[in-house]
Chain A
Amino acid sequence: MSDTDQDLIEAIRAGNPRRFSVLVDRHKDRAMTLALRIVGERGAAEELVQDAFLRAYRSLEKFRGDAKFSTWFYRILYNVCMTRVLRRPKEKVEWSDDDMRTLDVADQDVPSAQERMEAEEMQALLKEELARIPQAFRSALTLFYVQELSYEEMASVLEMPLGTVKTNLSRGRVLLRKRVMERLNEEVYAA
């Protein structure tokens, strides 16, 4: 059976620092996915993931084990990425309650359009539209679906109240879904 993250951390603390490579291997792809979705450029994302791992290793002694290593590490990574993102011009989060209402209307056509689309095309569409939604929603969606964090763990990583996390996640899903559905309908009608 493979070692848990906690086992690896204990091994590192016990004088076997090379075990850190197993932690890096285990978390690098999910970390890269999160960083890439926040900053949007592969080169910058890779650099930030590396930076986050270096910071995590150097402050491993501060990790008390109250939360999972992944939650603690993603908080470091998220902060590193946000420091980079905050240097850019501020993004306007466009949201209105109409977005929630239009979902019901769009739903009428959804199953048929969604079923007609090949899985690969759907993935490509999701990826494109995900890159276009506001960063706060994108981060919430990625932490939930890719990092598979619970609502509470997300609140800890994002340093936000639980209610805000739930709202961002829900709005993010609705907005993304709405945009994907619009694209799907466009393509269905265009065909």
Chain B
Amino acid sequence: MSGAEKHRSVEQLHALIDRQLDPAERALVTEHLRGCAGCRSRYESLGRFDAAFRKMPLAALSPAFTRSVMVTLGLAPKVPLVFRLVERAAYVFGLLIVLAFIVTAFVLGGVITSADLAGSQGAARRYLDATGSALAAAAGVLGSWLKDYLPFLFNRGGIAITAVALAVVIMLAALDRTIGKRFAQRLR
């Protein structure tokens, strides 16, 4: 490099890396880099930094985001029946497990015998009766528990207070939803 020739500016070196120089300017800067070890070193260092920056990972959003946008726009495609069933499979399995527990309890408790399970008449009837009795017993247990621990629920004043409190909670929840929606629309 001749002593009179100035070092290239950082902007020029960045523009060269970004391929934003016109051909004539590019040729001049490239020529300068061949003869100037200082600028070449700086150019290479800027290039390494540039490469590291380009490799920075993106902040990913899940596919559920796209669905949420489409739902908000009222454009969500209808989900095919098969997928809806798969989505609900968890609930179906849960229900089946609860049923299996009830049947097992009845079998172990002797309400349903092996003869019933083999298909003799009256099994369904006995099964329903037993379910009804179990539910009634559970309601009885819940009732006595409430009487013991929440006795105020069993007088008129308590019932009135509970009803008002419930109504207030429901009203606040409804208001929160409406106001929340309105605010969201205003912000948009």
Q: Contact check: which of A28, A166, A177 meets B11 at CB < 8 Å?
A: A166
Q: How far is the CB of B6 from chain A (nearest CB, A)?
A: 13
Q: Give B residues with C-beta under 8 Å from A.
A: 10-11, 14, 18, 20, 41-42, 44-46, 48-50, 52-61, 63, 65-70, 72-73, 75, 77, 188
Give the bracket for the number of chain A residues in contact with chain B: 35 or more
A51 touches B48 (CB 8 A): no
Q: How far is the CB of B71 from chain A (nearest CB, A)?
A: 11
Q: Which residues of A contact B60 (CB under 8 A)?
A: 29, 32
Q: Which of A2-10, A52-60, A64-72, A88-96 contacts B (4 or more CB under 8 A)?
A: A52-60
Q: How far is the CB of A60 from chain B (nearest CB, A)?
A: 11
CA distance A17 to B41 in the complex (A): 53
Interface 1/0s, chain A 4-34, versus B by CB < 8 A? 0000000000000110110011001110110
CB-defined A-B contacts under 8 Å, sample of 9: A18-B75, A21-B77, A24-B70, A32-B61, A50-B65, A123-B55, A145-B56, A170-B14, A177-B49
Q: Which residues of A contact B11 (CB under 8 A)?
A: 166, 170
CA distance A123 to B72 in the complex (A): 35
Q: Contact check: which of A45, A110, A150, A151 meets B59 at CB < 8 Å?
A: A45
